[in-house]
């Protein structure tokens, strides 16, 4: 069922069937839809659904696969199409497809921007958590030499995290930098919560030892 409709949607028009809609039919549906006929708008979307879905998938491509779903992108585009159809005028049988494809382009750009904003926010949260740990260790000393050491310490922390075994690193990152609950981590890993807590404790001990070795070097820095 299309957005805003409460009744059962009609059977879709299959463009590959023996009798796909003609250009004249498409132009007629466009005119009816522009006049407020939602049934005509629905027929247009059904008739072009396969092509528009293909357009959405090509737009996503390999780079955004798994980050943006073609069906979600198309759903957002359909909402805008139904909102804007009253101002649309078809010049030929391909006009509706070209217009709808441009709306898909705009919605794709919107989704990419939202995804990037979410990633920036996540990076800021992780960086803030890491910085908070360093602030606690370094007791807020703001002298120039300590500022240099702080930058080195951030690198040391990242190096120490990288040296942890993959699962240990994932547990520490999710628990301390992403502020995720043990129960959620345990569910994803298929382990008991107690087992994840113990693994986290062991990982923190290894991380502390590594940072201790690094701090001896950093403390000697001028």
What pLDDT, on a 0 to 100 scale, did the predictor assign at position 15? Answer: 43
Q: What pLDDT, in 10s, does the model give residues 38-91?
A: 888 888 998 899 899 999 999 999 888 888 988 889 888 998 898 899 989 898
Nearest to 130 by CA among 156, 104, 108, 107: 156
Assigned domain for 122 exists = no
| Domains in the chain, number | 2
Name the band, by pLDDT with cuts 50, 70 and 90, for residue 121: low
pLDDT in tens, 126-170: 556 666 555 533 444 444 434 435 555 666 666 667 777 889 888
Residue at 136 is within a domain = no
Angle between helices 95-138 and 70-84 (to 10 degrees): 120
What integer is the mean pLDDT of 89-113?
92
* pLDDT value, residue 204: 79
In a domain, 76, yes or no: yes
Of 117, 151, 167, the one marking the end of a domain is 117
| 74 falls within a domain | yes
Q: Which two tokens stand for residue 132?
A: 């908070």
Return the H-helix or E-strand segment holding 17: none
CB 121 within 8 A of CB 56: no
Q: Give CA–CA dist 67/60, Å, rounded.
A: 9
Burial class of residue 43, CB neighbours in 10 A (0-12, 13-18, 19+): buried
Residue 215: phi and psi, rounded to 5, are: -65, -30
pLDDT at 162: 72
In 3D, which of 182, 171, 9 has the Cα closest to residue 82? 9
Note down the domain range covering 80: 23-117
- Assess contact for 175 and 185: CB atoms under 8 A: yes
- 200 pLDDT band, cuts 50/70/90, is confident
Per-residue pLDDT band for 221 (boundaries 50, 70, 90) equals very low
Query: What average pLDDT does this structure show over 202-214?
Result: 74
| One domain, residues 169 and 103 | no
Q: What is the reported pLDDT for 16?
A: 42
Integer Cα distance of 115 and 120 in angstroms: 9
Residue 99 and residue 27 in one domain: yes
CB-CB contact of 195 with 186 (8 Å): yes
The CATH number assigned to the domain holding 161 equals 1.10.10.10
pLDDT at 35: 92
């Amino acid at each position: 069922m299309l957005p805003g409709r409460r009744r059962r949607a009609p059977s879709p028009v299959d463009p590959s069937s023996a009798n796909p809609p003609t250009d004249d039919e498409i132009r007629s549906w466009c005119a009816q839809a522009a006049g407020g006929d939602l049934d005509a708008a629905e027929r247009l979307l059904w008739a072009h659904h396969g092509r528009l879905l293909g357009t959405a998938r090509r737009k996503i491509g390999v780079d955004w696969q798994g980050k943006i779903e073609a069906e979600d992108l198309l759903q957002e585009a359909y909402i805008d199409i139904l909102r804007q159809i009253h101002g649309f005028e078809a010049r030929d049988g391909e006009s509706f497809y070209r217009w709808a494809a441009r709306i898909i382009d705009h919605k794709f750009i919107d989704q990419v921007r939202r995804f990037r904003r979410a990633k920036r926010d996540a990076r800021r949260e992780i960086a803030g958590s890491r910085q908070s740990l360093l602030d606690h260790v370094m007791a807020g000393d703001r002298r120039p030499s300590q500022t240099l050491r702080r930058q080195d310490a951030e690198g040391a922390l990242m190096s120490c995290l990288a040296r942890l075994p993959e699962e240990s690193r994932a547990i520490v990152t999710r628990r301390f930098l992403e502020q995720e609950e043990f129960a959620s981590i345990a569910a994803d890993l298929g382990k008991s919560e107690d087992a994840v807590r113990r693994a986290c404790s062991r990982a923190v001990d290894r991380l502390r030892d590594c940072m201790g070795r690094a701090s001896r070097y950093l403390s000697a820095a001028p």
